[in-house]
């Protein structure tokens, strides 16, 4: 019998012992997202494509939420097995139970992610909390702090509202926050994909406090530091002023 190639054997062992990364996306499916529905679907599908191509195996959880439903549609599934979103499977409606979406998702995701794995939770919403019945802001803030202590990284993407205030109220680092206009939803997903790829390429450890900066993603013509010096902001339409709630 021919001798087995030792390098391929070692590579195979290394691959089989590579811990999965856990990526959780909490995606707003409220009525105001109807305005960027097509871009949200296309952006999500490109993001999913990137996760499938990563050398690190990715376990993916997707929560779609509005006041009419709270759906953890895909729970800890291999990214390769998660189907793309379509016009039929992403139907924006109703209002914004953001705290409930975060709380319910993380209770589930936290039990499944391995301690030694990379763990990322991305929250993307275009409106402020206005419909939760189970979780409060304080409860979610404590939960995020606890999970960061377990090695989770949280990223907040806010469309057409004061994302830094909203993210800060949840305990999310300003350097892990982006405020964007819904017309830039597609580009925002592109930036998210690039930053996630950088995050996954780093060694597991303490949660980063510079998700975007670590990836070097801050082109001046697209993303600017907010006035307080924390966080990143994509160009915003004049009508979307800080403190204004654009979502429903």
The predicted-structure confidence for 73-91, as pLDDT tens digits, reads as follows: 999 999 999 999 999 999 9
Tokens linked to 204: 């597991």
The average confidence (pLDDT) of the chain is: 84
Assigned CATH for 16-234: 3.40.50.410
Decide which of 62 and 213 is more confident.
62
Residue spans per domain, the chain: 16-234
CA distances 199 to 53, 115, 142, 215, Å, are 14, 17, 24, 8
User: For residue 180, what is the enclosing H or E element?
Assistant: strand 177-180
Instruction: List residues bridging with 142 in a β-sheet.
Output: none
Q: Is the pLDDT of residue 138 over 70?
A: yes
* pLDDT tens column, 202-212: 876 555 658 99
Work out the end-to-end distance of the chain between its first and last CA atoms, rounded to an integer number of angstroms. 68
Specify the pLDDT at position 17.
63
Mean per-residue pLDDT, 22-38: 97
Asked if 188 contacts 180 with a C-beta cutoff of 8 angstroms, the reply is: yes
Output the pTM of the full model.
0.83
Asked if 172 contacts 134 with a C-beta cutoff of 8 angstroms, the reply is: no
SS3 179: strand
Which residue's entry shows tokens 């994302």?
163
* pLDDT tens column, 152-198: 999 999 999 999 999 999 999 998 999 999 999 999 999 999 999 99
Sheet containing 119-125: which strands, arranged edge to edge? 69-78, 58-66, 21-28, 119-125, 152-159, 177-180, 232-234, 223-225
For 105, residues 6+ apart whose C-beta sits below 8 A from its C-beta are 24, 26, 61, 63, 72, 121
- Least trusted range by pLDDT, from 42-56, 136-150, 193-207, 213-227: 213-227
CA distances 82 to 44, 73, 198, 232, Å, are 11, 10, 22, 30
**Band of pLDDT at residue 8, cut at 50, 70 and 90:** very low
């Amino acid at each position: 019998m021919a001798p087995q190639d030792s390098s391929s054997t070692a590579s195979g062992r290394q691959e089989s012992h590579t811990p999965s990364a856990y990526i959780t996306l909490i995606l707003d499916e409220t009525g105001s997202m109807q305005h960027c529905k097509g871009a949200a679907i296309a952006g999500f599908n490109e993001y999913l494509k990137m996760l499938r191509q990563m050398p690190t195996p990715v376990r993916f959880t997707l929560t779609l939420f509005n006041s009419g439903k709270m759906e953890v549609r895909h729970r800890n599934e291999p990214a390769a097995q998660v189907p793309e979103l379509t016009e039929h499977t992403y139907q924006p409606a109703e209002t914004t139970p953001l705290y409930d979406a975060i709380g319910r998702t993380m209770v589930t995701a936290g039990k499944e992610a391995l301690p030694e794995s990379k763990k990322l939770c991305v929250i993307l919403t275009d409106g402020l909390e206005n419909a939760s019945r189970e979780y409060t802001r304080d409860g979610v803030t404590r939960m995020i702090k606890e999970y960061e202590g377990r090695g989770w990284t949280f990223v907040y993407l806010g469309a057409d509202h004061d994302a830094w205030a909203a993210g800060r109220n949840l305990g999310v680092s300003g350097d892990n926050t982006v405020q964007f206009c819904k017309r830039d939803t597609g580009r925002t997903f592109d930036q998210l994909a690039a930053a996630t790829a950088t995050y996954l390429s780093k060694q597991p450890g303490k949660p980063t406090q510079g998700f975007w900066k670590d990836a070097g993603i801050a082109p001046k013509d697209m993303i600017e530091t907010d006035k307080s010096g924390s966080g990143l902001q994509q160009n915003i339409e004049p009508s979307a002023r800080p403190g204004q709630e654009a979502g429903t």
